[in-house]
Amino acid sequence: MPHTYHLSGRFWIESSQGMFLGQGRVTLLERIREHGSISAAARSMKMSYRQAWDQVNAMNSHSPAPLVSSATGGRGGGGASLTETGEQAVALFQAVKRDFDAFLLQRSTTLQL
């Protein structure tokens, strides 16, 4: 009886400057959208605020326009939201992920030894 296998993998989108978007960064963007705050998004991912802020800065620097817009906190509170470019980046990643997952599933049907 032949052994069957399946493909598994991860991908990320790179710019000429290096890594731009991967699943972790997209999840961070989705959490910023959900919570309206970088710090709340970081807490929900069990990530330090500094790490989340560094990820946002890295994504913004690899993009032609910022992905996240933030307002300074303080007495009135701050906040963060995805820009139109940020929403487009999330949608792009999700579309590529659907294609990638479909390829892995389709190609896995023929893996036998």
Which pLDDT does position 78 carry in this prediction?
A: 75
List the one residue out of 107, 109, 108, 59 whose CA is nearest residue 87: 59
Q: Which two three-digit tokens encode residue 50? A: 């500094």
Tell me the pLDDT band of 76, cut-offs 50, 70 and 90: low
Percent helix / strand / coil, the chain, rounded to 5: 50, 15, 35
Which pLDDT does position 112 carry in this prediction?
A: 81
Q: Domain residue spans in the chain?
A: 13-108
CA 106 to CA 37: how far, in whole Å?
39
User: What pTM was computed for the model?
Assistant: 0.88
pLDDT digits (tens, 9 = 90+) for 4-62: 888 999 999 998 889 999 999 999 999 999 999 999 999 999 999 999 999 999 999 99
- Cα separation values, 22 from 15, 90, 111, Å: 12, 10, 27
Question: How is domain 13-108 classified at the architecture level of CATH?
Answer: Orthogonal Bundle (1.10)
b/e 51-71 (16+ beta carbons within 10 angstroms → b): ebbebbeebbebbeebbbebe
Q: CA geometry: angle at 107 spanning 92 and 24, to 5°?
A: 35
> Is the predicted pLDDT of residue 77 greater than 70, yes or no?
no
